[in-house]
Structure 1
Amino acid sequence: MRVILVDDEELPLKRLKRMLSVYADIQICGVFHNPAEALDYTAVHPVDAAFLDITMPGLSGLQLANRLRELRPALACVIVTGYDEYAVQAYDTDILDYVVKPVTEERLARTLQRLRRQLLADDQAHPLPQPQSQLQGTRLSIRLLGGLEISSGGSRREPVKLRSPKTLELLALLVCHRTISREEVADTLWRDLGPDKAWKNLNTTLYYIRRATSEGGLLPFLSTEGNMLHIDPAAVECDMYEFEALLQEAREIGDFSDDQLRRMDRLYREGGLLKGRMYEWATERARRLEHEYAAMLEAAARSKGTEPLRALQLYERLLQLDELREDIHREVIRLYVAMDRQSEARRQYRLLAQLLDRELGAPPDPELRQLLDS
């Protein structure tokens, strides 16, 4: 029986954990002072039963029980508290048992007996779930290049509606990093708040992400391990992951096939990482990704010595990324001159001159003029 314990007071929590640990059929898989952390854990880990204090900051035990059952409908909840006036309300909200502190061994044994009977009845009524590796489902589709879009994957793509802009930003941050600590997330998104409030916001926002993505047969993609948050790449379709894999493949073999370049261009055609989103944390990563892509395009263009038309296409794509690169304009002009296409070479020179004058108030390198006149 996999159980979690939730109480904002340290001593009762330790005592209950010690009393439960003597039972061979009990696995204590989570001990929490913060109700939001218990919700976060339960969203991605199987839990059979929860022992909950009733008076806690943020969420009461009864409110927490309702939220936990939204995540795990079969989960059994036991209220453990020093106040017996909530007993009637507890039973009205379908609480399995209500135990008044201080908990005795005899009283706890009766509670566990009730839990075992309920779990046995549930096992008989429902077959065991398949192992994770055999689960069938749809991957979450996340577009990060050229904007930010979240939808269900597969043949029928439906937009996934998230609660707020901050919820969307948190999901984008998690997907970009794949694995990241809670401290880094809190400092990145809520650095203007105190630590307690930042962590509360983080846990609440994680809950809203899981609730929004728990329907439609989507595979679970977000997990926690200790203090780390982890995105499972096998459970999501992400254009950035595909783009980075192509870059890595090209780096490893030291060459760039036309197929690789076409696939990267298709992915990057709409723009860079999180285009249009003013996420300060993404600026450096977006710049680095574009730099790597540009370096690959440039290397591929320079390797096309016997294919000037293909080299021109690649250089022109580079100028779409950064129109002020005078060195690339020079290569385009050089290729036009070599192909005896003087009108195109002069047009390219005029375009460069206009850009430099408008943006920098400077003329092109005099050597370019000499190249045209040669």
Structure 2
Amino acid sequence: MPPRIHPPSRTICSLREPQRSTPRQRQYATATAITPAASYGQMTASSPPIARHPPTQPPSYKPPEFRKSQLLRQYASLLKSTPLILLFQHNNLKANEWVGIRRELSAALQKVNAVRAAAGHTAEPLADAIKMQIIQTGIFAAALRVVEFYKPESQSSSSSIDPTDPATPSSATVPVFSSSGDGLTHTLSRAAHEAVADTRTAHALAPLLSGPLCLLTFPSVSPQHMKAALSILSPSPPKFPAPTRRANPGWHDAAIQSGLQKLLLLGARVEGKVFDVDGAKWVGSIDGGLEGLRAQLVAMLTSVGGGVTNTLESAGRSIYFTVEGRRTMLEDEQKEASGEMPKKP
């Protein structure tokens, strides 16, 4: 018997049949006022612009993420804030030689601090702030040219800050942008690069900036500390005698003597001025330091003033004596003529 096939129900047939689209009526929008789109100025006025560079890192001509750029900034800051720098050439010093030289230098500078404190000087001790460091010669030469030959103008009209002046503290606020709006004026800017592009041999230290170099930096000009440093690093009797073996036996060690033979004093930079070896030793040989130099200057000015005063007074005194002598002579002659005074034989 064949199977029974039931006809599909109406619900299933309705699902299988395609849905017929019912005609939709068109709707027409009424005329309304159309608001124009906001301009770019209106869009940016409400929200602040997105800064492409952080405020502490303005855009630079030299990429700031490179180590050379950071060394350039470091050397420029060092030159601006350090009034006294001694320049040495070093030739293949070993690590133990550097350690020994720095140890003996620190000990000699600490002795100067103790002597100054015993003498009653209230100035801050400088031994801990005096540093000896190896530099990259080419980058240091570029930083020196920027400091010496690049003079950015200041925004402030009341008090101008010269960032190239060694007396200017490193914490002083130096303008980042020029007042004319031409561009940036910091050390890594395009203006600084263009200003020193043709000054490679214009500086007085340029002939010395070759080969391996190291710097001995002083936070202030102190001839006493400078003399102690030269006696350790570059002794030259009689003004800069080397320490004796009894007073300082560590200085006579073989490692330190080997390292000192590889150190050569080239010159100095004092208050922005370049000194040769003789000039650097003259600064270190000032008796009494800056206080003694000021005392000598005061004594010289006092003696000059006293000499000028005596010269001026001597002219007036001679005229006074001449006039008084002539007046006395006339009075005597008048008395003789009137008979009040007997005539001289």
Name the TM-score class by shorter chain: under 0.3
Greater relative contact order (CA < 8 Å, ≥ 6 in sequence): 2
Query: More helix per residue: 1 or 2?
Result: 1
TM-score (normalizing by structure 1) = 0.24
- TM-score, normalising length: structure 2: 0.26
Bigger fraction of residues in strand: 1
